[in-house]
Amino acid sequence: MKVLKRFAHLMLAVSLVFCGILSFDVASVKAEGGLVINSVTISGDTVVVSASGGAASEDGMYHLIASAACQAAPMGDDIAQQSVGQTEFRVPLNKGLPNSLLYKKFTICVTLGGALAPVSNTMYILNPEACATVTPARMDNGIKGIFPEIDDAIANKNQVSTLGVNQVNLNVPISMIYRLGDYDHLVQKYNNLGIQVNMILLADKGAGPDYISPLSYKGMKKQSFFAFNASTPEALEKVGNAAATIASRYSGIGYGQVDNFIIGNEVNAWREWNYMKFDTYEQFMNEYCKAFRVMYNAIKGANGSANVYTCIDHQWAKPEASYYMSGKEFLIRFNQTISAEGNIDWRLAVHPNNYWLLAPKAWETSAKVTHDQSTPYVTMANLEVLTDYMSLPEMLSPTGAVRSVKIAELGYVSNKGEDIQAASVVFAYLVASNNSHIDGIVILREADNKIEIKQGIKCGLCDVKGNPKKAFSFYQNPLDPNIVAQASAIAGVDLNSLVVPR
């Protein structure tokens, strides 16, 4: 068994190296007079691959290779051929069938020395939403959100309704793929209250080897969440199908509606929340991006109006450490990796907590929280640093828009008193509501968590029994001038004066 494991790990490493070697830069392809794939789009039941340029082929044919995310052409299937000079391919999508192309990437090859060799860049389908089963109207009713308590003792109080929130988050370990019924009543409950649901998809311990990357196995005893399995075509198919199943179930038909999906939690803080044993950050990013791309296509192919997010924590421009990648570096690498194989409309989820999680005051800046791109941390006090970066030309969506940012987790402790917590919640909401790029602010959490209390953290708007704290009443109407005045009095400064609009 040990020999087999070693052999499997060796073959995985060879596969990863091979995938890294056979990559193409569009500019270099043009310079060499090769072919450039300009777009891969779905039209009806057909995938249309449009290219330009030219290249010689010994057999007089261009070959369209469809590869899994973990492969590099010419690995994959030779799905179509065109005479040299013909640069458009049309092939059946086959959605839902064993030979579906929804999760594939495409490369044009020619015959060279009797074997196929790639002569183009590689690109995934750019508009998977075009084959969506449904495209429901989104429940974009506002940005105010909460991480709700789902324990019946508190959940049955329906305080999310009293708070007047517009969004809630639900964590969904992928091992729950066979028990989605446990979420049905929650999604429907919030929908019936007019509340939008965001789901965070996580590779948990119970998911097993089908869904957890083999590069994560060594951390199984110590970690809680892992990298999704992108090591083989079969694994990617299962990961994609799981995402499609969840997105389809909650597409507004029968079981409720989920509008937003977040792939992983604080992925840049990989040791804690997306564990993988890797050699280089390039390897780490490639593995995450493969899984993200497949899950993106799967989700958008099931629900055409769903948004799909990557996720970082509050570490921004800190020097790289042995257990995390800075959020800024993660975004640079993520954007480059995704764009190299076809830009898509990914969004960003961020957790801009205070740089010290037990620090109670949301409005404070310091040497670690500054208003420039070199700031070690991004909090609500300098949130514009993040959205300014997302506004750079190279970070824009395929339509040229600034990608929306969801503050998907934000907690302030009441350890130093309920007044400061309440003022911090108000300040955070003021900042979010004055930044046009923010599509949600989800406060963590509705009630104190018993596990977090043992760690010295009390960030609920209610105590552990569900009794509201001062922050609860402040969060009901955080923009009310009277509430803002009370919060400013607590802070000792006009909170409005500290807000940087965007």
Distance, CA of 278 to CA of 366 (rounded, Å):
34
Distance, CA of 422 to CA of 473 (rounded, Å):
8
Measure CA of the first residue to CA of the last residue in the chain; give whole Å: 58
Q: What is the pLDDT of residues 77-113, one digit of tens each?
A: 999 999 999 999 999 999 999 999 999 999 999 999 9
Closest CA relative to residue 458, chosen from 357, 334, 376: 357
Other C-beta atoms within 10 Å of 282: how many?
A: 12
Q: Which tokens in the block code for residue 70?
A: 């973990």
- Among all chains, which residue has been given the structure tokens 């509201």? 468
Distance, CA of 451 to CA of 439 (rounded, Å):
29
Other C-beta atoms within 10 Å of 98: how many?
A: 6
pLDDT value for 327 = 97
pLDDT value for 19 = 41
Rounded to the nearest 5°, which phi and psi values hold at 423? -65, -40
Closest CA relative to residue 443, chosen from 407, 490, 488, 473: 407
Distance, CA of 307 to CA of 438 (rounded, Å):
14
Distance, CA of 363 to CA of 119 (rounded, Å):
54
pLDDT value for 277 = 92
Q: Are the CB atoms for 165 and 198 separated by under 8 Å?
A: no
Distance, CA of 478 to CA of 164 (rounded, Å):
11
Closest CA relative to residue 174, chosen from 261, 301, 65: 261
What b-and-e string marks burial along 143-172, b requiring 16 or more CB atoms within 10 Å of the CB? bbbbbbbbeeebbebebbeebbbbbbbbeb
Distance, CA of 103 to CA of 128 (rounded, Å):
9
Other C-beta atoms within 10 Å of 369: how many?
A: 22
Rounded to the nearest 5°, which phi and psi values hold at 363? -90, -5
What is this structure's pTM?
0.92
Q: What are the structural domains of the chain?
A: 2-126 (2.60.40), 129-498 (3.20.20.80)
- Among all chains, which residue has been given the structure tokens 């194989």? 341
Q: Are the CB atoms for 237 and 178 separated by under 8 Å?
A: no
Closest CA relative to residue 339, chosen from 22, 15, 25: 25
Distance of CA 389 to the CA centre of its chain: 17
Q: Are the CB atoms for 192 and 257 separated by under 8 Å?
A: no
DSSP 70: T
Distance, CA of 137 to CA of 300 (rounded, Å):
14
* Structural element, H or E, at residue 181: helix 181-192
Q: What is the pLDDT along the chain (502 residues), one digit of tens a residue?
A: 333 333 333 334 434 333 433 334 433 333 234 999 999 999 999 999 999 999 999 999 999 999 999 999 999 999 999 999 999 999 999 999 999 999 999 999 999 999 999 999 999 999 999 999 999 999 999 999 999 999 999 999 999 999 999 999 999 999 999 999 999 999 999 999 999 999 999 999 999 999 999 999 877 778 889 999 999 999 999 999 999 999 999 999 989 999 999 999 999 999 899 999 999 999 999 999 999 999 999 999 999 999 999 999 999 999 888 788 999 999 999 999 999 999 999 999 999 999 998 999 999 999 999 999 999 999 999 999 999 999 999 999 999 999 999 999 999 999 999 999 999 999 999 999 999 999 999 999 999 999 999 888 999 999 999 999 999 999 999 999 999 999 999 999 999 999 999 9
pLDDT value for 246 = 98
pLDDT value for 27 = 33
Count, residues in the chain: 502
pLDDT value for 13 = 40
Q: Which tokens in the block code for residue 3?
A: 């020999």
- List, in order, residues 6 or more apart from 127 with CB less than 8 Å away: 41, 42
Distance, CA of 457 to CA of 360 (rounded, Å):
11
Closest CA relative to residue 465, chosen from 162, 165, 155: 155
